[in-house]
A and B are shown apart, each in its own frame.
Chain A
Amino acid sequence: MKKILIVDDEEVLRMLIADTLEDLGFSIEEAEDGEEAWEVIQKNSYDLIILDYMMPGMTGVEVLKKLKESTVKKDIPVLMLTARSQQKDKEELLAVGADYFMEKPFRPMKLQELVEEIFHV
């Protein structure tokens, strides 16, 4: 079973993503901020990380940077959740090494399609 980590400061969004992906047969873990995310990433292995851009404290970009600089964890694909107005940030994220993007707000159907594409199901 593929394991996915969801990092978002908003509980409702974490729930929405978890509900959608769990129904598809993925195993889901959640973290509510950057610090918690970085902690669990170091301890566990994941097949995909869904990472919110805007979070209080350690932001999504910072988590992404740390991840992509790490030697053991850099190959985990990262799906960034961004707001519609952040086109400029998108380029920055690509440069840092983000693999996929999803604009907020999104419909679960779109997320499902993207994740299925990532795992070739």
Chain B
Amino acid sequence: METLSLILNWVAITIVAYFFVIITIYSMFFLLALKKIWKEKDIDPHEPIEDTIESVDTYPLSIIVPAYNEEIGIVPTVRSLLSIYYPEYEIIVVDDGSKDETSKRMIDHFDMVESSRAIRNHVVTKEIVGICQSTTVPHVFLVKKENGGKADALNCGINVSKYPYFCAMDADSIIERYALLKTMKPIMDSDGNVIVTGGTIRVANGCKIHRGSIEQVSPPKNPFAIMQVIDYLRAFLIGRISMTRFNWLLIISGAFGIFQKEWVIKAGGYRTTTVGEDMELVVRLHRLLKESKSKERIEYIADPVCWTEVPTTARVLRKQRKRWHQGLTETIFYHRKMLFRPKYKGVGMVSLPYYVLIEWLGPVIELLGYVLLVAGLLFGVIHLEVALLMFAVAFFYGTLFSISAVLLEEWGYKRYPKPWHLIKLFLWSFTETFWYRPLTVLWRVEGIISAIRRKHDWGDMKRKGVSSG
């Protein structure tokens, strides 16, 4: 019994040490983000737009919206995309074999007729049933295809699209009017050397939405949604801003990202065998860039440009977090050869190891910590001092960065118009350690388990060369 207690106490102290390391790394990220936001703080938000407008004509792009059973949201989404401020673009809605009236709503509302548009065979996808074009707004297209999942729908959109860049977005996200212009800026500024860009995603719940655009920002009432507001702020403001500085960024959210089509085709398109197709594609592009010794980059802009409706029930949130972590597990597994290989530069040496040791392993260690803490207190196998230390670290870790992210947001972007909005976010941050974190940690560990269960059908993806397109 005494030996067990000794071992458990040492395990607990190791966990505490692990969290100290994480806290140190996050603090570094936070300082880097602080520096970047400090530098950009006083830039007039319209200035980059004015700069961009000159060269923007040469960067037309296709917006690809995969839709599965989106009959309620699809027309408002396309409507809001129609008033986007961008000179040359097309909108391609890909109906991935919906069982509802997604296609019918599109056809009726936008007066669509059959189109004889050419389809390239860049990436193999499920069969296309038909393509329609709007007669009133001729840059709006609908592709009807057999169901094949989101990655397959995106690949199909790539085959149908005619412009050299594409923007992949979720049917339920709302993008701001200047989102395309702002997000395309790194690509234009680099003369096309940036091949992927993404922008910051925020939580739309609670905001006032009028005619498909955000009219007033305010925090939601639902506790799950509030915690996700903080979650998103933290992930985007602290993690991603720092990663992009060194070209280490591994995630461009599936909810909104812009890609150079040629490179995506070269990489083989989205992988249809993973649930984390957005991250997997970005890692694969990094890999391809490094293997072909290309100087192209992947960048991320800190401006909040896309708003998304987040889950408000434990059931749906669990499903989402499980899926995200399963996707992360799968991506790491596919690209494990890149780990600690100098050939892959910062991605292989720093960011992938970071994702493995902190983002992926974190929930496992944290869950173990919670179990030890509860068991230790119940059965007295852990010293009270050690238990207190563990709790303090968990609380500090959970709360410190949440509060910092909320502060950074207010200081840098001032999107929340009323002081009580921030106070509300602040107060909720303090509750995180007691319910939201343990729950999401548990769900993420579940994601690892489902990835392991699925491992047997992880076949290698079939590729089709560019030349056959």
Contact = CB atoms under 8 A, between A and B. Distances in A.
Closest 6 CB pairs of A and B: A19-B83, A12-B136, A20-B83, A108-B83, A10-B136, A16-B82
A112 B82 contact: no
Contacts, number: 46
Given A107-B88, A109-B87, A19 B138 contact: no
Most buried by B among A12, A16, A18: A12
A33 B296 CA distance: 53
Nearest to A15: B79
Interface residues of B, number: 22
A22 interface: yes
B85 interface: yes
27 contacts: A10-B136, A12-B109, A12-B111, A12-B136, A12-B137, A13-B137, A15-B79, A15-B82, A16-B82, A18-B211, A19-B80, A19-B83, A19-B212, A20-B83, A23-B83, A23-B213, A105-B137, A105-B138, A107-B86, A107-B87, A107-B88, A107-B89, A107-B139, A108-B82, A109-B85, A110-B87, A112-B85
B86 A12 contact: no
Interface in A63-121: 105, 107-110, 112
B86 A109 contact: yes
Nearest to A19: B83
Interface residues on A, range: 10 to 19
A22 B211 CA distance: 10
Contacts of B109: 12
Nearest to B134: A12
A30 to B, nearest CB: 13
Contact of A16 (B85, B137, B177): B137
Interface string B131-171: 00010111100000000000000000000000000000000
A110 B82 CA distance: 13
Contacts of B139: 105, 107
Contacts of B256: none
Given A13-B137, A105-B137, A105-B139, A19 B82 contact: yes
Most buried by A among B80, B89, B177, B213: B177
B84 interface: yes
A29 to B, nearest CB: 15
Nearest to A18: B211
B139 to A, nearest CB: 7
Nearest to B53: A109
Contacts of A10: 111, 136
B210 to A, nearest CB: 8
Contacts of A20: 83
B433 to A, nearest CB: 41
A48 to B, nearest CB: 18
B344 interface: no
B68 interface: no
A9 to B, nearest CB: 10
B414 to A, nearest CB: 20
B110 interface: yes
A26 B300 CA distance: 33
A112 B177 CA distance: 12
Contacts of B213: 19, 23
Contacts of A109: 85-87
Nearest to B136: A12
Interface string B166-187: 0000000000010000000000
A109 B213 CA distance: 16
B93 to A, nearest CB: 14
Given A23-B213, A107-B88, A16 B83 contact: yes
A109 to B, nearest CB: 5
B85 A19 contact: no
Interface string B196-220: 0000000000000001110000000
A19 B79 CA distance: 9
Interface string B434-450: 00000000000000000
A112 B178 CA distance: 13
B224 to A, nearest CB: 31
A87 B11 CA distance: 81
B110 A12 contact: yes
Nearest to B140: A12
A21 B84 CA distance: 12
A59 B396 CA distance: 69
B146 to A, nearest CB: 28
Contact of A13 (B84, B85, B136): B136
Contacts of B83: 16, 19-20, 23, 108
A52 to B, nearest CB: 11
A12 B78 CA distance: 11
